[in-house]
Amino acid sequence: MASPFLTKQKAVLPSGLLTLAQSARTPRVAIARAGAELPMQAAYEATAAGIMEPLFTGETDVIRAEADKLGWDISGFEIIDTVGEEQAGHAAALACGEGRADVLMKGHLHTDVFMKSALSRDNGLRTGARLVHVFHISHPTGGKPILLSDAAVNVAPDMDTRKAAITYCVDSLRKLGVDKPKVAMLSATESVLPAVPSSGEARELRDWARTEIPNAHFSGPLALDLILSPESVAIKGMSDDPVAGNADAIIAPDIVSGNTLFKSLVYLSGACAAGVVMGAKVPILLTSRADPAVARIASVALAAILSDAP
């Protein structure tokens, strides 16, 4: 029997994200080992929506067979014929590194193989910047979305990695149309407590960001209720904090809290989570086998917005 806490609400592709992506330059998306149902379905729908132009890598006959199941004529798109996961990952990453594609997307291959290809110096995607995963999370009934970093890549991000995450989130929010982003540093308390190391780190990150990043608001440490709930903010007397109860982005202190928060929003409220790895030459779509098609399409939309020329 399913847990009563799980919602039956299905994720919905956020219309605002799709509209922004459709107004951006259409990116060429290299799909590493595309020949499987879920990546091909997402590519088909995203291409039909006008937010990507696919470049397929993988076994050509399998890719064409999957396209035929969808009634999709892919004769006008490039297919790089490869055998196995490693070849497909390498070919897709190299296409991005050489400028023949603008976004790298995970298809039907293991994450470790995919990321090894993305990080290989031979493929030209490394920039020297830190890689950070950012989710754009939206509720199925609408309302303001929120960004979350990092829930998928950095297990125990050091302070420099979290500073990079803050910068990426602010830059992303501005591309998403938020003029003065509000960023919250997540902890379990709004006070700095020696027994809660993340609280002191959150304060340090807040102070750094306020000094280094103009035209944005930063607050921390903040517990989750003070990030999301205006009622909690009022009760706890923090209404003068511009971020509390009204955050545009959350910086998690570690992968456990970030991953738990992301999955809670998805499985308990039906949120749609569009994810992108930032810090490489191109945005990287690190989708999961459990991701629904709408989350994959939303991820393409997010990458289209972030990869658009400034």
Please check whether residue 218 lies inside any domain of the structure: yes
Check which CATH number belongs to the domain holding 262 and give it. 3.40.718.10
Cα distances from 21 to residues 131, 189, 238, 297, 299, in angstroms, run 23, 37, 36, 11, 10
The residue-averaged pLDDT of 2-28 equals: 93
d(C-alpha 101, C-alpha 192), whole Å? 45
d(C-alpha 248, C-alpha 134), whole Å? 12
Angle at the Cα of 263 (from 38 to 45), degrees rounded to 5?
25
d(C-alpha 96, C-alpha 75), whole Å? 21
d(C-alpha 253, C-alpha 261), whole Å? 12
Q: Is 90 exceeded by the pLDDT of residue 242?
A: yes
Contacting residues for 112 by C-beta, under 8 A, at least 6 apart: none
Contacting residues for 160 by C-beta, under 8 A, at least 6 apart: 130
Q: Which of 45, 105, 106, 107 is nearest to 70 (CA)?
A: 45
Tell whether 298 and 254 lie within a shared domain: no
Tell whether 164 and 227 lie within a shared domain: yes
Q: Is residue 210 within 8 Å of 199, Cβ to Cβ?
A: no
Please check whether residue 1 lies inside any domain of the structure: no
Tell whether 147 and 268 lie within a shared domain: yes
Please check whether residue 178 lies inside any domain of the structure: yes
d(C-alpha 97, C-alpha 2), whole Å? 44
Tell whether 140 and 270 lie within a shared domain: yes
Tell whether 44 and 150 lie within a shared domain: no
Tell whether 65 and 83 lie within a shared domain: yes
Q: Which of 76, 95, 120, 126 is nearest to 32 (CA)?
A: 95
pLDDT tens digits, 143-199: 999 999 999 999 999 999 999 999 999 999 999 999 999 999 999 999 999 999 999
Residue 58 host element (H or E)? strand 53-58
Tell whether 257 and 154 lie within a shared domain: yes
What confidence score (pLDDT) does residue 2 get? 82
pLDDT-based confidence at 292, cuts 50/70/90? confident
Tell whether 237 and 142 lie within a shared domain: yes
Tell whether 31 and 98 lie within a shared domain: yes
What confidence score (pLDDT) does residue 28 get? 97
The residue-averaged pLDDT of 275-289 equals: 91
Check which CATH number belongs to the domain holding 41 and give it. 3.40.50.10950
Q: Is 90 exceeded by the pLDDT of residue 305?
A: yes
Please check whether residue 2 lies inside any domain of the structure: no
Q: Is 60 exceeded by the pLDDT of residue 310?
A: no
pTM here?
A: 0.94
Between β-strands 284-285 and 103-106, what pairing exists: parallel, antiparallel or unpaired?
parallel
Please check whether residue 35 lies inside any domain of the structure: yes
3-state secondary structure labels for all residues of 114-180 = HHHHHHCHHHCCCCCCCCEEEEEEECCCCCCCEEEECCCCCCCCCHHHHHHHHHHHHHHHHHCCCCC
Tell whether 165 and 256 lie within a shared domain: yes
What confidence score (pLDDT) does residue 140 get? 94
Q: Is 90 exceeded by the pLDDT of residue 308?
A: no
Q: Is 70 exceeded by the pLDDT of residue 72?
A: yes
What confidence score (pLDDT) does residue 309 get? 58
Please check whether residue 295 lies inside any domain of the structure: yes
Q: Is 90 exceeded by the pLDDT of residue 290?
A: no
pLDDT tens digits, 73-128: 999 999 999 999 999 999 999 999 999 999 999 999 999 999 999 999 999 999 99
Please check whether residue 241 lies inside any domain of the structure: yes
Domain count, the chain: 2
What confidence score (pLDDT) does residue 293 get? 83
Q: Is residue 152 within 8 Å of 219, Cβ to Cβ?
A: no
Tell whether 140 and 263 lie within a shared domain: yes
Q: What is the DSSP string of 276-300?
A: EEESSSS-EE---TT--HHHHHHHH
Please check whether residue 3 lies inside any domain of the structure: no
The residue-averaged pLDDT of 57-63 equals: 97
What confidence score (pLDDT) does residue 256 get? 97
Q: Which domain holds residue 175?
A: 135-274
Tell whether 111 and 144 lie within a shared domain: no
226-229: long-range pairs with CB below 8 Å, 24+:
226/184, 226/190, 227/184, 227/186
d(C-alpha 153, C-alpha 149), whole Å? 9
* Backbone dihedral region for residue 163 (phi beyond 0: left; psi -120 to 50: alpha; all else: beta): alpha
